[in-house]
């Protein structure tokens, strides 16, 4: 039934109908306003038809209902019911616009009162419905070229590690960006992350650890973004962990596969994920925990998407249960009184942007908790999506919508005075920097912790 389009449409109608009646998620992402507006406009179309047929007059605002004779209130209300939009009134384009505007922030899941996690009889899982819709459409029409390109982050990282400065230069040339927009579907005005030739994996191979009696041992899952673009974050994470007596290893690994889920490419996702499952599960079996140093999308994928979209078995369950976001792991150490909190520097007041995919893990605000370990630190929560979602925010057709979401987040950040801005998501930081024309340039909580310890970014101590 999963791949049956008729079954999909029935489930769409069911879930859309619940959402229309609730509207709790009206301000979370572009999908829900599109759904609600389409249904409301459908009601307006019905009224226009009735007016044209002479069955009713134009709607008039009434303020005299308390003065009407008994029964006339119900008469007016019964007429208005005819002009209420319904799910069945949605056009094919309106139905699929909701799917296309979903960038899988997953913010609706913790907010929604009807989810499987809350044991409600509706069993409403909006993100999974959107992925199913994408998968069925992709199976019918094939995978679009730009989706293939954006999903293959490992290939992009390899090319970037060889020709990083040259690619970074080319990405600034207007005529070439117009060509890339036509060929790859990357919006010409999207500022692309810079490639680093000295990748995180290269750095780790030359890194020497002096830990002889570790308090714990972890596998660093560096993520494709940290490896190719955000090397400083990976280095800082390792240096902090080793400073606290944690043994770090960096085995063979590749992109977690999350970009393949966006267009519903399940085969690509499984092919990408399987080597990670085989490798990481062996280390977990040997007593290692998995610490993800990059965007929270990757820790979410290992924890929740692997069990949901791959055949569930012992290896995947072990990976899911032993994966930590880097901030989550440091708080885990702190609760065991194993984290050094002797900080040399203060960081002041922080506007902390809450990453959507950390919220989706429903584990609290661990990045904020890490920052609050530093003495005299005040943290303001900025609870607003950046609207990036990796490839979605880069695509030509969604760039403008993406930036509108980001502008709202920038406005929220600018309302609060702070010394620095932080986010656990490097992609969100990249997005907010562009949306603010460079005025808001978030750091990562781990980089700020690194400074608080007094470590030098170049030498690690």
Contacts of 455 (CB under 8 A, 6+ apart): 236, 239, 240, 243, 461
Domains held by the chain: number: 4
Share of the chain above pLDDT 70, in %: 91
Identify whether residues 329 and 216 lie together within a single domain. Answer: yes
Which range has the worst mean pLDDT, 46-50, 69-73, 272-276? 69-73
Residue 18 structural domain: 5-141
Residue 195 forms part of a structural domain? no
The pLDDT of 201-208, averaged and rounded, is: 94
Per-residue confidence band for 87, with pLDDT thresholds at 50, 70 and 90: confident
Residues 290 and 324 in one domain: yes
CATH number of the structural domain spanning residue 412 = 3.40.50.1860
Query: What is the spatial distance between Cα 231 and Cα 209, in angstroms, rounded to a whole number?
Result: 18
Residue 319 has pLDDT above 80, yes or no: yes
Q: How far apart are the C-alpha atoms of 299 and 237, rounded to whole Å?
A: 15
Residue 193 in any domain: the answer is no
One domain for residues 174 and 234: no
Q: What is the 3-state secondary structure (H, E, C) of 10-44?
A: HHHHHHHHHHHHHCCCCCCCCHHHHHHHHHHHHHH
More confident residue, 339 or 72: 339
Q: Which helix (H) or strand (E) holds 369?
A: helix 366-372
Q: Do 26 and 137 fall into the same domain?
A: yes
**What CATH number did the domain enclosing 290 receive?**
1.20.1050
Mean pLDDT to the nearest integer, 12-32: 92
Q: Is residue 24 located within the same domain as residue 53?
A: yes
Q: What is the pLDDT of residue 461?
A: 41
Query: What single string gives the DSSP state of each residue in 250-316?
Result: --S----SHHHHTTT-HHHHHHHHHHHHHHHHHHHHTT-EEEE-S-HHHHHIIIIIHHHHS---HHH
What per-residue confidence (pLDDT) applies to 318?
96
Indicate if 411 and 316 belong to the same structural domain: no
Structure tokens at 157: 């990282």
| 163 and 216 belong to one structural domain | no
* 160 and 71 part of one domain: no
Distance CA 80, CA 50 (A): 11
Confidence category of residue 34, pLDDT binned at 50, 70, 90? very high
Same domain, residue pair 285 and 365: no
Quick one: pLDDT at residue 41? 85
Residue with the bigger pLDDT between 46 and 25: it is: 25
Total residue count of the chain as it appears in this document: 461
pLDDT given for residue 460 in this prediction: 41
Q: What is the pLDDT of residue 80?
A: 58
CB 112 within 8 A of CB 126: yes
- Mean pLDDT score, 4-17: 95
* In the predicted structure, residue 66 carries a pLDDT above the cut 60: no
Average pLDDT value for the chain: 90
Average pLDDT over residues 113-124: 91
> Is residue 343 a part of any domain in this protein?
no
Whether residue 177 sits in one domain with residue 112: no
Averaged pLDDT, 388-405: 91
Residue 36 lies in a domain: yes
């Amino acid at each position: 039934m999963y791949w049956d389009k008729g079954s999909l449409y029935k489930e769409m109608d069911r879930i859309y109908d619940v959402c229309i009646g609730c509207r709790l998620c009206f301000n979370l992402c572009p999908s829900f306003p599109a759904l609600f507006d389409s249904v409301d406009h459908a009601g307006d179309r019905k009224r226009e038809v009735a007016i044209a047929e002479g069955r009713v007059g134009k709607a008039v605002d009434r303020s005299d209902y308390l003065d009407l004779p008994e029964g006339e209130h119900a008469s007016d209300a019964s007429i208005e019911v005819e002009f209420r939009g319904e799910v069945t009134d949605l056009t094919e384009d309106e139905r699929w616009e909701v799917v296309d505007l979903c960038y899988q922030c997953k913010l609706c899941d913790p907010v929604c009162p009807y989810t499987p996690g809350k044991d409600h009889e509706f069993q409403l899982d909006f993100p999974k419905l959107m992925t199913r819709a994408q998968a069925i459409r992709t199976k019918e029409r094939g995978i679009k070229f730009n989706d293939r390109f954006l999903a293959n982050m490992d290939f992009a990282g390899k090319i970037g590690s060889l020709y990083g400065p040259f690619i970074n230069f080319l990405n600034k040339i207007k005529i070439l960006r117009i060509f890339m927009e036509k060929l790859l579907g990357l919006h010409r005005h999207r500022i692309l992350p810079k490639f680093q030739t000295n990748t995180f994996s290269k750095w780790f191979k030359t890194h020497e650890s002096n830990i002889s009696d570790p308090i714990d041992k972890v596998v660093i899952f560096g993520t494709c973004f940290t490896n190719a673009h955000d090397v400083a974050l990976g280095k800082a994470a390792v240096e902090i962990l080793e400073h606290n007596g944690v043994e770090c290893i960096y085995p063979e690994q590749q992109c977690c596969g999350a970009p393949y889920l966006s267009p519903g490419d399940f085969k690509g996702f499984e092919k990408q994920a399987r080597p990670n499952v085989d490798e990481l599960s062996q280390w977990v079996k040997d007593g290692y925990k998995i610490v993800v140093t990059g965007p929270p999308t990757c820790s979410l994928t290992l924890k929740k998407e692997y069990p949901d979209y791959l055949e569930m078995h012992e290896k995947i369950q072990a990976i899911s249960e032993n994966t930590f976001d880097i901030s989550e792991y440091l708080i885990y150490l702190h609760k065991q009184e194993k984290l050094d909190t002797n900080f040399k520097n203060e960081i002041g007041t922080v506007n902390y942007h809450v990453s959507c995919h950390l919220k989706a893990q429903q584990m609290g605000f661990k990045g904020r908790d890490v920052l609050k370990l530093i003495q005299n630190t005040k943290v303001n929560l900025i609870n607003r999506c950046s609207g990036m979602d990796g490839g979605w925010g880069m695509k030509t057709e969604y760039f403008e919508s993406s930036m509108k979401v980001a502008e709202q987040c920038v406005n929220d950040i600018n309302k609060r005075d702070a010394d620095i801005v932080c986010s656990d998501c490097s992609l969100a930081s990249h997005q907010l920097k562009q949306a603010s024309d460079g005025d808001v340039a978030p750091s990562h909580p781990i980089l700020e912790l690194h400074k608080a310890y007094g470590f030098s970014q170049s030498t690690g101590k």
